[in-house]
Amino acid sequence: MEPGIFSRTYETDSIEETCLRMKAGGLTHTQFNLMNAGIPTLPETFDERKMEEIKAVTGKHGIILDALSGTFNMIDPDEEARKAGCQQFETQCRIARMLNIPIVTLCTGSKNKESKWKWHEDNEKQSSWDDLIRSTDAILKYAMDNHIVLGVETEASNIINTPEKARKYLDCMGSSNIKIIMDAANLFRKEQAADMSHILQEAFDVLGKDIVLAHAKDFTATESMEFVAAGEGMLDFRLYISLLRRSGYKGPLIMHGLSEAQIAGSRKFLEEIIADA
């Protein structure tokens, strides 16, 4: 287990520059966003020559693309936008296959019209759950055809906002092509921070067997709940990493929710805990 990084932490559209900055920071693993290669995150089409360039450059620098960002609002209140997102996803899965990326990340979404990352009370409705299942049915075929795993995580603002709902979702779909991205900071609401050990253990009891990728960000819960760089908050990373290991997870810890200037500090923090765990 070692630290990795969200590629969009580096604000560049050059794949060469992205790789050089990763290497300079001692990182080889990334959750990749196509914008770091000058391509829209969710392109409608793609140039095979550009995909070969990405493979060549990342290969030259020894950069491992562990996952590809594919997040669109799976329960978008705009039905046409939702359908468009599902249709585009075939392209995303084909790109992942060409780049030898095993995981494409999802956003289960929100009925909030402003942002898929903001809560809306309609997320609790059965009709929203039905929309999620329809969207999943539509994109699951693309994942299976391209031998891709879809990565889902709990998000406080999304329809899948607890480990229990994530478990229900996985069981409902019944597919080995849908697995869990574990992000411990996403498991907590402000009032739950004092019960950290129990919340973490319960989440791994429910989802531990299905983890395919792990994220590393931190949180504070003083006046409000805020995400911060790993090592700058209150998350018990020693317990988190211990639980990841007990679950059998051996992949990278993908840092995000931080600036490029914070990478070195967070990486050192995580490496020390991994070495001690």
Tokens of 136: 């999943």
DSSP string, 1-24: --EEEEGGGS--S-HHHHHHHHHH
Q: pLDDT tens across 194-220, in order?
A: 899 999 999 999 999 999 999 999 999
| % the chain with pLDDT above 90 | 92
Range 15-26 average pLDDT: 97
User: Tell me, what's the pLDDT at 202?
Assistant: 96
Q: Are 97 and 148 in contact (CB under 8 A)?
A: yes
93-128 confidence digits (pLDDT tens): 999 999 999 999 999 999 999 998 888 999 999 999
Beta bridge partners, 254, equal: 4, 215
* Straight-line distance from the first to the last Cα atom of the chain, in angstroms, rounded to the nearest whole number: 11
CB 240 within 8 A of CB 52: no
Residue 48 has pLDDT above 90, yes or no: yes
Worst-scoring range by mean pLDDT, 64-68, 219-223, 246-250? 219-223
CATH fold of 3-276 reads: TIM Barrel (3.20.20)
Q: Tell me what the mean pLDDT of segment 223-237 comes to.
A: 92
Whether residue 53 has pLDDT greater than 90: yes
Torsion sign, CA atoms 198, 203, 205, 209: negative
**Residue 172 has what pLDDT?**
96
Q: What does the pLDDT look like over 128-180, one tens digit per residue?
A: 999 999 999 999 999 999 999 999 999 888 999 999 999 999 999 999 999 99
Residue 170: partners with Cβ closer than 8 Å, 6 or more residues away: 152, 178, 179, 180, 210
Q: CA-to-CA distance for 56 and 60, rounded, in angstroms?
A: 6
pLDDT band of residue 32 (cuts 50, 70, 90) is very high
Show the tokens assigned to 168: 């229900």
Q: What is the pLDDT of residue 237?
A: 97
What pLDDT, on the 0 to 100 scale, is given for residue 225?
84
Residue 181, pLDDT > 90, answer yes
